[in-house]
Structure 1
Amino acid sequence: MSKNWYPIINYKKCTKCLECVKFCPHDVLFEEDGKPVVKNPNLCVDYCRGCQKGACDFGAISYGGAYAT
């Protein structure tokens, strides 16, 4: 993943509810084997945080890349 901004899923915190997959309008996240996976990190919009703040109630999503803090 070389994009400047992309979600990282912490599977220890993830409940596999897939709300993040349903939420993302940019096709970054997909369901695979019953859990969310980051399939298209380059499609993530810089600083969006939608899947983190709008969908994940469990703190399982953080961000990586040059812009991550």
Structure 2
Amino acid sequence: MTCQEITRQTASALLSSCDTAGRNYRPLGRFYLREGRRFIGIDNSTGNAWTEEFPDLKLCIAWLKGQQELPS
């Protein structure tokens, strides 16, 4: 699955799209957006819309592709 850049408006619509049972966000996919100097990754490949913030695009894409474990 590829990672697609989206706008703040598209991210807001995605994160507001949850059904009444509290799951199944739409559309499915892996997305990122730029917020100032940071990047927000949204992994919605399973409909759960996991989100993380990153200082650069490289780390964000690695996380979206499952190639990077984040420090705790």
Is the TM-score greater than 0.5?
Answer: no
**What TM-score, normalized by structure 1, do the two folds share?**
0.28
Give the structure with the larger strand fraction: 2
**What TM-score, normalized by structure 2, do the two folds share?**
0.28
Quick one: higher RCO (CA 8 Å, sep 6+), 1 or 2? 1
